[in-house]
Amino acid sequence: MTISHIVRGRRLFAKHGVTADNGRFAATDKPTMQVDVITSALIVAAEQAGAAIMNIYRNEATETTIKADGSPLTQADMAAHRIIAEHLQRFDWPVLSEESAELPFATRQQQHTYFLVDPLDGTKEFIHRTDEFTVNIALIENGVAVRGVVFAPALDLIYVGGQGIGAWKKADGNAWQAIQVSNRVPSASSPLRVVGSRRHGAEKLAAMLTDVPHELDNRGSALKICQVAEGSADFYPRLGPTSEWDTAAGQAIVEAAGGHLTDMHLQPLRYNQKDSLLNPNFLVLNQSYAQWISRLKLA
């Protein structure tokens, strides 16, 4: 069964607001997004995982261990993973998560539709208490991210997007707002608004932007992708290591907002295509990127 079968058969429409099967989303006076049962489930799973993360975040005595790859792991990562996996088990699709056991490619390549999850993206931001960590949940179909939710629980900020539903943002419990990428072309009077990683690739980024008027903001987690999606940034280049669960949800959102998430050859990222789950370096681009990307030093 594919996403299209479920969406066609069980769509929950909201002409004047968002509705969901659990009643969490109240009607508003303004037209907002249409929520199908899958998107509703992703939102609720992200919010419940976020609530568990915040319960731990408020505890100063957060316990941290180091994984085999040298990255940190907290109680919050595992608690969020368990909640998401439990909430999504009503669907027939498997959940591939950063905190689940790694499956060999021979097994994974049989999974054409699955959930791809980072239960706590930005663990270092969590540890350093910057508030810039997120819950990322995506639905992948035939290598393409077709739905995505990115929730920043400490900021009470959630982004949703995907094929057929557009891209949306809700902040501080307010109504959903449609979002779209910018069409800015950089100039001396209108610099390119670049968002970068606080912890990776600063020297490479500076070299890339030598010939482009720009202003730089550093952020953590998938919030950087979402800044491009909402139009508050124009460009996010990632010149350091990431995994597929770091980008899938954000890619669904930014593409639904009219933007692009590509490799360095401007080809869209695709998922579950190879043995490794590592991404190449990538670019998140606004609508008008074709008019300015030649000015970057991509080599």
Question: Is 88 part of any known ligand binding site?
Answer: no
What radius of gyration, in Å, describes the C-alpha atoms of the chain? Answer: 18
Asked which of 178, 200, 227 is the last residue of a domain, the reply is 178
Residue 33 has pLDDT above 90, yes or no: no
For residue 216, is it within any domain? yes
Number of folded domains that form the chain? 2
What is the per-residue pLDDT across 228-262, written as a single tens digit (0 to 9) for each? 999 999 999 999 999 999 999 999 999 999 999 99
> For 102, which DSSP code?
P
Only one residue has tokens 């557009």, namely 166
Most confident among 58-62, 75-79, 201-205 (mean pLDDT)? 75-79
CATH number at residue 58: 3.30.540.10
Q: What pLDDT does 155 receive?
A: 98
Write the pLDDT tens digit of every residue in 89-110.
Answer: 999 999 999 887 678 899 899 9
Flag whether 186 is in a domain.
no
Instruction: Find out whether 246 is annotated in a ligand binding site.
Output: yes
Question: Do the annotations mark residue 266 as ligand-binding?
Answer: no
Q: What span, in angstroms and rounded, lies between the C-alpha atoms of 160 and 39?
A: 8
Q: Which residues contact 92 (CB under 8 A, 6 or more apart)?
A: 1
Same domain, 126 and 22: yes
262 marked as binding residue = no
Whether residues 229 and 251 share a domain: the answer is yes
Q: Is the dihedral of CA 220, 224, 230, 235 positive or negative?
A: positive
- In this structure, is residue 49 part of a structural domain? yes
Please identify which residue in the block is written with the tokens 């043995």. Answer: 275
220 domain-assigned:
yes
Annotated binding residue at 120? yes
18 and 96 assigned to the same domain: yes
Query: 60 or 287: which carries more pLDDT confidence?
Result: 287
Both 289 and 207 in a single domain? yes
User: Could you tell me the pTM of the whole model?
Assistant: 0.88
Pair (230, 153) in one structural domain:
no
* Residue 21: predicted pLDDT: 37
pLDDT over 70 percentage in the chain:
84
Q: Residue 284: what pLDDT? A: 99
Q: Compute the mean pLDDT over every residue in the chain, rounded to the nearest whole number.
A: 88
Return d(Cα 157, Cα 134) in angstroms, integer: 9
Residue 121 known to bind ligand? yes
Looking at 150, 178, 206, which one is the last position of a domain?
A: 178
Side-chain-facing half-sphere of 17: CA atoms under 13 Å: 11
263 a known binding residue?
no
Domain-embedded: residue 139: yes
